[in-house]
Structures are given as C-alpha cells and as structure tokens.
Amino acid sequence: MTTRTAHLGSFKTRLSQGAILGGLALSLLGTGIYTGAFLPSVFAQTTTGPRAITITPPTLSFTVKPGDKSEGKLGIMNDSNEDILFSVIAYDMIVQDEHGTPEILPPGTINTNKYSASSWIGVDAPELLVKAHSRGDIGYFMQVPADAGAGGHYAAVLYRPKRIETANGSGAAINTQLATLVYFDVAGAIKENATVKSFKAPGFSEYGPVKMDAEITNNGDTHIKPIGTFKVKNMLGKVIATKEISEGNIFPGGISRIYEQAVGKKWMLGRYEATFMATYGRANNLPLVATVAFWVFPWKIALLVLVLIVAAVLGVMYMKKNKHKSGKPPEDQTPHEPQQPQITQ
C-alpha cells in the first residue's frame, strides 16, 4: 500500500502542476488581450481651432477659348478682432511634388513656360482693407490671349496681409499669405495621357485596415482630376470594402500625384485583392486601372491559440497515461500463489 500511495501522490502532484501551468497560460492570454499586448495600438491626434481669415472661392476653374474674357468677385472673411490690410496680386502657380502642393512664383519667373497664366488675370486694386468680423470683396477680371495654346494654364491670386490695424491706430506687420488658385483649360486639340505609375499595398499585414496608395502620372497637356475608388475582394471574390479616392488635380507635363487610403476592417484573414479604378479626361471617359494582392493574418494570436491547443492535448495525453499506470498494482505488491510443500522420499 505504501508504494501505491506514493504513485497516487505523484500523479496528484503532476496533475496539480498541469492545472497551474494551464491556468497561468490562460491568465497570460487574458492579460495580453486586455492590455493589447497582442493587438495593434491605435493613436489619434486631433487639432481644432477657428480660422481667423477665410478666402472665397479657394479655387477658380475656367474652360475657355482663346480671346475669352470674364470677371467676378473674390472675397476675404476676417473673423479676427483687428482690421487687416491685404495686398492682392496675381502670381504664377505650379505643382511639382507628389502631394499636389502649389508653389507660388512671382510674375515673370516662368514666362517662357507654356503653363504660365499670371498675365491673364488681374484685380481692381492692389490693396484691400477688411474690417474686423466682416467681409471684403475685390473684383477680378481675366482675358485669355488670342494666341493662347490649348491645354492647361495656371495662376494664383495671392492675398498677403501687410498690416494689422489695432484699435489705437498703430499697425503691426505679419508674415503669412493665402491664395485663390486659378485653373484655365483652353479649348483645342490636346494630348490626354495619364497612367498608374504604381499601386502598392503591404504584402503581409497582421491586422487591417490595410494602407494602400496609387501614384498617377499626368503626361498630357492639361490638368486632370481623377474620380474613382479603391476596392478590396476576399478569396471568394466578394467585395468587402470600397473607398473613394480623394479629389485633387494633377498638373500636366509628367507630374505625379499619390492617392492614399486605408481599406478594410481590423479583423481580416487570408489573401485579398485590391483594385484601383478611376476615370479622367475632359469627358471623364478615360480609364485608370491597377490591381495588387496582399495577405492579412493575425499570426501572434493564432500562434498563442495553437500553443494552448497543443498544451491542452499534451496535458490530456499525460493524464490518461498516468491514470493507466496508477490503475496497476505495484510489482512488489503482486500476490503470489502459495508454494506447495515438497515431499521427499
């Protein structure tokens, strides 16, 4: 009985240790999910604050013929507590980066450039005083030269605050500027040619949404504004997410622009295919299409679940094996048949 008791005690000890280890593993899993140790962290940052100055309209777009004329009004809203004196002048405008950032150039900087249009537009007065909490208007006029080349031409009406007029009459100079961007598309035969330079998404992600970007290059003669979507399908060909691309002009002459979007849900699993599909052109009938494939798999959680399953299976096998051993009587306690007395003659 002593040996049987020892075996039973050893089995209980091992069973207790297995239970402790299993409980510890489950505790770690719970702690990991609760604290986000196995999940992606999300950070958000927001900035708020009222605008002191607002221009209207922020852009002007004209589809014109050589020799056309037009005029209108530009407005500045001054929501600050001081009167502001603005200088107003037309400059040339170009875009050369991949994010559509305009560069304002003084008149004459690119006169030899076929896209220049600063001489096509002017304003009624070189300065405009806008009272506090009020709107100031200034007239503009534009005239397209009779020999203007077909395609895109660009300018910007720049508003530069020269002085803030305080209540006591003193003034302080400030260094900032705003602009109304002006787009001309002159009628005539032009080349319309844009391509998807690249369409990228990470080949493998642990979680969604998946960030993807399409870079479009405009090799034509005028600016374009593609309209389209990012669309994602799962392994079964079902569309699981669709996001529209942001609006934005792409300048001519080989300029590119990148359109970015995060598409999909947090929990995604398997292989996916994303399609970028857009149209562009004067008639908005020219296609832009590209596809890319990628995988999403939450491997950390999957690995942890696999470890727990393997541990559970091994634990069950271990318990069955020890239970089978504990059911046999110890070898030294096995009963022996009594020996028959030997009779000698």
User: How does pLDDT run across 186-240, given as a tens digit for each residue?
Assistant: 999 999 999 999 999 999 999 999 999 999 999 999 999 999 999 999 999 999 9
User: pLDDT at position 67, please?
Assistant: 96
Angle of helix 2-35 relative to helix 299-326, nearest 10 degrees? Answer: 170
- In this predicted structure, the answer to whether residue 54 has a pLDDT above a threshold of 60 is yes
User: pLDDT at position 338, please?
Assistant: 57
> Which residue, 79, 80, 91, 237, is CA-closest to 160?
91
Contact between residue 183 and residue 144 where contact means Cβ atoms under 8 Å apart: no
Percentage of residues of the chain with pLDDT beyond 90? 56
Structure tokens at 23: 């409980």
Please report the DSSP string for 148-169 in residue order.
PPSEEEEEEEEEEEEEEE-TTS
Mean pLDDT over residues 118-134, rounded? 93
Contact between residue 228 and residue 288 where contact means Cβ atoms under 8 Å apart: yes
Please report the DSSP string for 53-93 in residue order.
EEEE-SEEEEEE-TT-EEEEEEEEEE-SSSEEEEEEEEEEE
Structure tokens at 184: 């001309």
Torsion of CA 308, 312, 315, 317, to 10 degrees: -130
pLDDT band of residue 42 (cuts 50, 70, 90) is: very low
Q: Give the angle subtended at the CA of 58 by the CAs of 56 and 59, to the nearest 5°.
A: 120
Highest mean pLDDT: which range of 5-19, 29-43, 56-70, 294-308: 56-70
Q: What kind and span of H or E run contains 289?
A: strand 286-296
How far is the C-alpha of 111 from the C-alpha of 119, rounded, in Å?
9
pLDDT band of residue 113 (cuts 50, 70, 90) is: confident
How far is the C-alpha of 280 from the C-alpha of 284, rounded, in Å?
4
How far is the C-alpha of 163 from the C-alpha of 8, rounded, in Å?
94
How far is the C-alpha of 167 from the C-alpha of 173, rounded, in Å?
15
C-alpha of 195 from chain center = 21
Contacts of 214 by beta carbon, 8 Å cutoff, 6+ apart = 196, 198, 199, 200, 230, 245, 258, 259, 276, 278, 290
Contact between residue 275 and residue 233 where contact means Cβ atoms under 8 Å apart: yes
Contact between residue 280 and residue 256 where contact means Cβ atoms under 8 Å apart: no
Query: Which of the two residues, 225 and 30, has the higher pLDDT score?
Result: 225
Mean pLDDT over residues 161-184, rounded? 68
- In this predicted structure, the answer to whether residue 28 has a pLDDT above a threshold of 60 is no
